[in-house]
Amino acid sequence: MTPDREFRDSVERALAGVSPRVVVLSEVGSTNDEAKALAREGAPHLSTVVADSQTSGRGRAGRSWVSPRGAGLTTSFVVRPRLPVESWTLLPLITGVAAAEAVAAIAGLSVALKWPNDLRVRGRKVGGILVEAEPPRFAVVGIGINIARVNFPEELREIATTIEGEGGSADRALLLREVMTRFAALLNDPEGALRRYREMCETLGRDVRVERAGVVIEGTATGIGGDGALEVRTAAGVARVTAGDVTHVRDA
Ligand code: BTN
């Protein structure tokens, strides 16, 4: 069997009963774009795109995401939440909990979340999430998790890691099944998801620097609001951060 065929079979087997439609690609620009196209054609909730590699993977805040062939889990799935649209701001956090708990369960690593949803092991990023929503019709949840050891470019060496680099291991298909099963359950219990998020979020209690559109906020992260916003106590009062790049000051 060719490696491509083997990959496709293992993903299809793992997602049987979890995802109603599974598209497995050897290479794609961005799985988020593929999943969005499927969603616009009417693909049902939890339809999934998985790729062995991406050529123009996208990260948050306009950054790129590198997905070398066979090195990690690169996936996006369509979500048609029953949640009111005002609560869709919780989707990135719900996904973060699902993915972090899945990595912990499958790879045996201790995983924390940096607000909003960087998956971190020992302070280094092992996975990222990009949720793109077209409310009220759908959202696309994109997840990239680094599994195999890779030679990161110089600028990522100190801040990125992989499951194998941390002494764990994970089968991509089984990891994906675990993520999606947990995601589907958490979507029905957003309050519970938020409780778990607060327990796993290593940003809470830390001194942070938040930058968004040239505006900088510095203070202590004291809470996560019911809508997923990060609450930062500053000299001028409590600021609610709904988007932006957070630096944990002691990490910097
Ligand atoms: C981030 O931390 O900046 C988010 C990274 C999200 C990367 C994943 S890989 C699968 C999906 N397709 C994309 O183009 N991006 C997401």
pLDDT at 251: 59
| Distance in Å, CA 130 to ligand 1 centroid | 5
| Distance in Å, CA 143 to ligand 1 centroid | 5
pLDDT digits (tens, 9 = 90+) for 123-145: 999 999 999 999 999 999 999 99
Average pLDDT over residues 78-92: 97
pLDDT bracket for residue 244 (50, 70, 90): confident
Is 117 touching ligand 1 by the criterion CB < 6 Å?
no
Instruction: Kindly provide the b/e burial profile for residues 90-116, where b requires at least 16 CB atoms within 10 angstroms of the residue's own CB.
Output: bbbbbbbbbbbbbbbbbbebebbbbbb
Is 63 touching ligand 1 by the criterion CB < 6 Å?
yes
pLDDT digits (tens, 9 = 90+) for 170-222: 999 999 999 999 999 999 999 999 999 999 999 999 999 999 888 999 999 99
pLDDT at 4: 87
Average pLDDT over residues 63-88: 95
pLDDT at 58: 97
pLDDT at 235: 94
Q: Provide the token pair at 84.
A: 């009111």
| Distance in Å, CA 57 to ligand 1 centroid | 6
- For ligand 1, atom 7, the nearest C-alpha belongs to 144
The partner residues of 212 in beta bridges, in order of sequence, read 215
Task: Kindly state the helix (H) or strand (E) to which residue 129 belongs, with its residue range.
Answer: strand 124-134
d(CA 35, CA 52): 15
Average pLDDT over residues 15-32: 97
- What atom of ligand 1 comes closest to residue 75's alpha carbon? 10
d(CA 169, CA 115): 25
| Distance in Å, CA 120 to ligand 1 centroid | 15
Q: Provide the token pair at 192.
A: 């519970």
Is 130 touching ligand 1 by the criterion CB < 6 Å?
yes
pLDDT at 31: 98
pLDDT digits (tens, 9 = 90+) for 146-162: 999 999 999 999 999 99
% of the chain exceeding 70 in pLDDT = 99
| Distance in Å, CA 60 to ligand 1 centroid | 7
- What atom of ligand 1 comes closest to residue 127's alpha carbon? 2
- What atom of ligand 1 comes closest to residue 31's alpha carbon? 12
Task: Give the global pTM.
Answer: 0.96
- For ligand 1, atom 2, the nearest C-alpha belongs to 128
* Dihedral angle over CA of 53, 128, 141, 133, nearest 10: -120
